[in-house]
Amino acid sequence: MVTRRRGEELEQAILQAAADELRESGYAGMTMDRVAARAGTNKNAIYRRWPRRAALGIAAYRHLSDAAMPNPDTGTLRGDALQMLRQANETWSSPHGAVLRGLLAAAADDPELLTLMRERSGADTMDRAWLGMLERAAARGEAPAAATHHRVATTPVMLLRAEYAMRGIPSVPDEVLVEIVDEVFLPLVRGRG
Amino acid sequence: MVTRRRGEELEQAILQAAADELRESGYAGMTMDRVAARAGTNKNAIYRRWPRRAALGIAAYRHLSDAAMPNPDTGTLRGDALQMLRQANETWSSPHGAVLRGLLAAAADDPELLTLMRERSGADTMDRAWLGMLERAAARGEAPAAATHHRVATTPVMLLRAEYAMRGIPSVPDEVLVEIVDEVFLPLVRGRG
DNA sequence: CTCTTAAGGTACGCCGCGTACCCTATAAGG
DNA sequence: CCTTATAGGGTACGCGGCGTACCTTAAGAG
């Protein structure tokens, strides 16, 4: 044997291999044997670090990308909201998003994994971005102060998420995003005056 | 062999057995071998009718219950909405709902199965009930006519559904339902005036 | 009383998860 | 240096579950 990796180095190699498998085959297609082979190691080394396949999947997903969360500032609440939704839609409908949805489905009956996922998928960051958006709109006098509310901030993304749950894999058409903003989000903000 | 069932009779026995397995073990725990054993038959008879496990799961779910969809009429929009949401929450958090969520998770990457599910889970019926509610409120002068809109009608249930996706198995607390109605649904209806 | 059709019985191939064991390189510590 | 604990490598295996193959046998149609 030429060299034998250990510790951090090996761990990174495993995560990289798992992330590659995720990208190519999705979570359902990611098998422990293939990850081990691809990382040039064996399942022992994996199971010593992650007790279950799902745990490795989540860790690898994190390794897959550090989602950059933009804070749009188009000048209008409508513009900001649309941009946020469009960006989210793009992420979710990408192969990357398919992985995420596969993981969510697999973790659906495992509360522990679910919280892990929430932490690592930047959901909280996103909520804060929406709240910031509402605050800026209120400062501009474009929205009532009472609209700066957690439920209001999370509603559009929740609706988009539910839309994905109803449809299958394809991306959500842009008209739906516009509808969410114009028929729900903006009237809702207005109604809280 | 005493008697040998065929056709309709056998089919019903299989569906009943599958439904029982669903109730006891959820979709993830429903195995073809156990269903066959429970129905007093073998897997051949099953695979001759349903090509895949998921197909049997969906058929059996339908057999599990014919959800009665109530049309509440408490006299106020808030009362109606809360009652609808509470009833939905009860359904979703019951063992019955756990089965449904398991099926949805399993069918997440299969558009064909997803549409099958939508048809058989009474989602459309529910949407129509919400629209009717809004119409009655408009007739009473409690809501603007512009609030009778598909997106408005589906928003509360969508939010509840997304809430389930975020949390794990436990039921959604009643406070959340109240918040959805008071902080989102009613302001939204108001804002569409 | 055939004869076609569908059910029953049983075994199997395949795959994937997770585990067990034993061997060997590596790094830490006297 | 040399020893020793630790962790990686190799490999095999048990188990469970899906879907299939094949043959036997009961039911019902004509």
Mean pLDDT of B69-80: 87
Q: Which residues of A34-47 are buried (b: 16+ CB within 10 A; e: fewer)?
A: bbbebbebeeebbe
Q: pLDDT of A131-160, one tens digit each?
A: 999 999 999 999 999 999 999 999 999 999
pLDDT at A86 over 60: yes
Contact B146, B94 (CB under 8 A): no
- Structure confidence at residue A134 (pLDDT): 96
User: What pLDDT digit, counting tens, does each position of A12-46 carry?
Assistant: 999 999 999 998 888 889 999 999 999 999 999 99
Q: How many percent of chain A have pLDDT more than 70? A: 94
pLDDT at A169 over 70: no
Amino acid A36 CA to nucleotide C16 C1' distance, rounded Å: 13
Q: CA of B159 and C1' of C9: distance in angstroms?
A: 50
Report whether pLDDT(B69) > 80. no
What residues of chain B lie within 8 A of the CB of A151, using their CB? 179-180, 183-184
Inform me whether the pLDDT recorded for B62 exceeds 60.
yes
Distance between CA atoms of A157 and A153, rounded to whole angstroms? 8
| Closest C1' nucleotide to A10's CA | D8
Confidence check: pLDDT of B1 > 60: no
The larger pLDDT score, comparing residue A106 to residue B55, is at B55
Does the C-beta of B113 come within 7 A of strand C?
no
As a three-state string, the secondary structure of chain B is CCCCCCHHHHHHHHHHHHHHHHHHHHHHHCCHHHHHHHHCCCHHHHHCCCCCHHHHHHHHHHHHCCCCCCCCCCCCHHHHHHHHHHHHHHHHHCHHHHHHHHHHHHCCCCHHHHHHHHHHCCHHHHHHHHHHHHHHHHHCCCCCHHHCCHHHHHHHHHHHHHHHHHCCCCCCCHHHHHHHHHHHHHHHHHHCC
**Is the C-beta atom of A4 closer than 7 angstroms to strand C?**
yes
Please, is A160 exposed, middle or buried when counting C-beta atoms within 10 Å of its C-beta (0-12, 13-18, 19+)?
buried
Write out pLDDT tens, residues B38-60: 999 999 999 999 999 988 998 89
pLDDT the model gives residue B9: 87
A68-86: average pLDDT: 88
Band of residue A180 on the pLDDT scale cut at 50, 70, 90: very high
Average pLDDT, chain B: 88
Model confidence pLDDT, tens digit, residues A35-76: 999 999 999 999 999 999 988 998 898 888 666 667 788 989
Q: Looking at the complex, report in whole angstroms how far the Cα of residue B110 sits from the nearest Cα belonging to chain A.
A: 7
Which chain A residues touch B118 with a CB distance below 8 Å? 166
- pLDDT by residue (tens digit) across B106-163? 777 677 777 777 777 777 888 899 999 999 999 999 999 999 999 999 999 999 999 9
Could you say which residues from 31 to 90 on chain B have a Cβ atom under 8 Å away from some Cβ of chain A? none
DSSP class of A109: T
**DSSP annotation string for A116-130:** HHHHHTTHHHHHHHH
Place of tokens 């809004």: B134
Of A152, A158, A183, the CB nearest to B149: A183
In Å, what is the separation between the CA of A61 and the C1' of D22? 45
Give me the pLDDT at residue A69, please: 66
Amino acid in position B158: M
> Looking at residue B71, what is its pLDDT?
78
Is A1 a residue whose pLDDT tops 60?
no
Strand segments, DSSP code E, in chain A are none
